[in-house]
Structure 1
Amino acid sequence: MVAKKIRDMKENKSPGVNVIPPKLLLEIVEQNSIPLPTVFNLSLKEGVVLLEWKEANIFPLFKKDQEKVKDYRPVSLTSVICKLLERLIKDHLVDFLVKNKLINPSQHGFLKARSCLTNM
């Protein structure tokens, strides 16, 4: 599952604080197929998240007018590896909720094959 998620990553995304770009993970995906799940499982079992995964580089990104300070919004670049763990957790959680019919049928946001448009 970890290797599949790595292959689904966009390689041109910016790296986080640990400076590990998605492209590097894609190039060594087979070598990461054992250590990353081990680290992820240990982190979940112990309930501890590495400090490096909590850190972020924050950059201002302008929305409209570069001259106005209020037209900037902060963008946080976090660890690519932590984002990978977050995606895995989200997928498992959504799968569990859907399989056990714990999500209301009228819920359309953030679910596969459903959107705000299908809700209409």
Structure 2
Amino acid sequence: GDWEGKTPPAVGEDRVRDLLRNLNAHKSMRPDEMHPRVLRELADVVAKPLSMIFEKSWQLPLSIIYQQSWIIGEVPDDWRLANVTPTFKKGQKEDPGNYRPVSLTSVPAKIMERYILSVLTRHMEDNQGI
């Protein structure tokens, strides 16, 4: 890929803090039992450790699971868990077809996904890929 032999993107604590501060505090608790409201309120405290975990995930062999996530595009099993709840759309509530599934996934996984998306988007824009 384009990052072979190059320094992987740095994970900015400020960017992680911004992502945490923008979490929807009204969302339900995830399978990892971390409520978005708590992470949002503790953004100043957890931004640095999370940014370090994310950065190590693609820079150091110390965090093999995360590095493999970056390299092979797979995430840890815990990040694949979701609480799925049927949410009513419209029509008759007795009709199961009038519900849509809503999946609640791990908040740290969501933050890392958003961060990776922003890094890839910036990379594509800088290289006229978008």
Secondary structure of the corresponding residue to residue 32 of structure 2: coil
Pick one of 10, 19, 23 that aligns with 2:33: 19
Under a length normalisation based on structure 2, what TM-score does the superposition of the two structures give? Answer: 0.70
Deviations 1:19-72 (A, max 9, x none): 211211122222212211122223345224332211001111122121111222
Identity of aligned residues (%): 35
Residue 36 of structure 1 corresponds to: 50
The answer on 1:50 being equivalent to 2:76 is yes
Under a length normalisation based on structure 1, what TM-score does the superposition of the two structures give? Answer: 0.75
Which deviates more, 38-47 or 59-68? Answer: 38-47
RMSD in angstroms over aligned alpha carbons? 1.6
Stretches of 4+ aligned residues off by more than 4 angstroms: none
Residue 113 of structure 1 corresponds to: none
- Counterpart residue type for residue 21 of structure 2: R
Number of aligned residue pairs: give it.
Answer: 103
The answer on 1:102 being equivalent to 2:116 is no
| Stretches of structure 1 lacking an aligned partner (at least 5 in a row) | 104-120
Contact 2:21 / 2:41 at 8 angstroms: preserved in 1?
no
Secondary structure of the corresponding residue to residue 14 of structure 1: coil
Deviations 1:50-105 (A, max 9, x none): 322110011111221211112222111101111111111111111111121112xx
Pick one of 83, 89, 96 that aligns with 1:63: 89
- The whole-number CA distance in structure 2 between the counterparts of 1:6 and 1:33 is 7
Deviations 1:100-120 (A, max 9, x none): 1112xxxxxxxxxxxxxxxxx
| Stretches of structure 2 lacking an aligned partner (at least 5 in a row) | 1-14, 60-66, 70-74
- The whole-number CA distance in structure 2 between the counterparts of 1:50 and 1:61 is 27
Higher helix share: 2
